[in-house]
Structure 1
Amino acid sequence: MASNKRSYGDIQQQIQQLQQEAEQLRAEEAAGVLEDIRAKVATYGFTERDVFGRKRATQNGKKPQAGVPGEAKYLNPKTGQTWSGRGRAPAWIVSAKNRDRFLIAK
């Protein structure tokens, strides 16, 4: 009786072949999808904002990371506390009529 067992190496080889085939099929399908999208964008006059929504600001070509505090922009000279100028203003600067006096010199 002949054994139909496949080895680990056989499976790995099949995986590689299937991944290559999948990449090729994806590339072929993606070209058609992109062509269709471009045609619809041209037909309906969509803008980048229509398709992707609000564009986030970039700094030095990098997207801002969520939850990462910004660079300090303001300094409380009495306590040394800083504030990036984003989000809710701290109590020490909230009532300031001219925030320029708290700016950190660069």
Structure 2
Amino acid sequence: MVQTYAQIQKQIVTLQQKADVIRAKEVGGVIDRIKVAIAHYELTPEQLFGAKSATKKTASGGVVKKGGRNSYSDGNGNTWGGWGKRPTWLREALAAGMRLEDFQVGAPAVSAAKDAAKKPARKSAPKRRPSTVLYSDGAGKSWTGRGPQPGWLKEAIAGGRSLEDLRAS
């Protein structure tokens, strides 16, 4: 049986109504799960939407772990997500001799004996730029060998001189 355009439009309306009812049921469950996550992580509107809000921040700062960054906690409800300014509780603890790793959430605790056995990390020597070669015409014009060749150098080469002839000692 061939359907008419009007019949198909009627089916579309009926299916859309059914879809709206199903969506409303699903959205309720999604919203409930989001509310649980917001409460669990003490998220603020600023963290969720990026905009400033008139609501107060939570005492713990309400920071959530983002994109592979570490999060830190002191075990007393104070947390920091590893980005932005370090909170006062963490700065004070670090000033008192604690290490940032001591507060890392999910990191295995390191014993004092293991810490004492660790050698301080060696810094590698700074990378040095390769030495530049200086070319000069002897009359005050020079070129470092970086970038395009200046006109005086092109003219000298065209006149039969080589780069080795123009190399400054």
Query: TM tier, shorter chain?
Result: 0.3 to 0.5
Structure with the bigger RCO (C-alpha within 8 Å, sep 6+) is 1
Structure of larger gyration radius: 2
Instruction: Give the TM-score of the pair, scaled to structure 1.
Output: 0.47
The answer to which structure has the higher helix fraction is 1
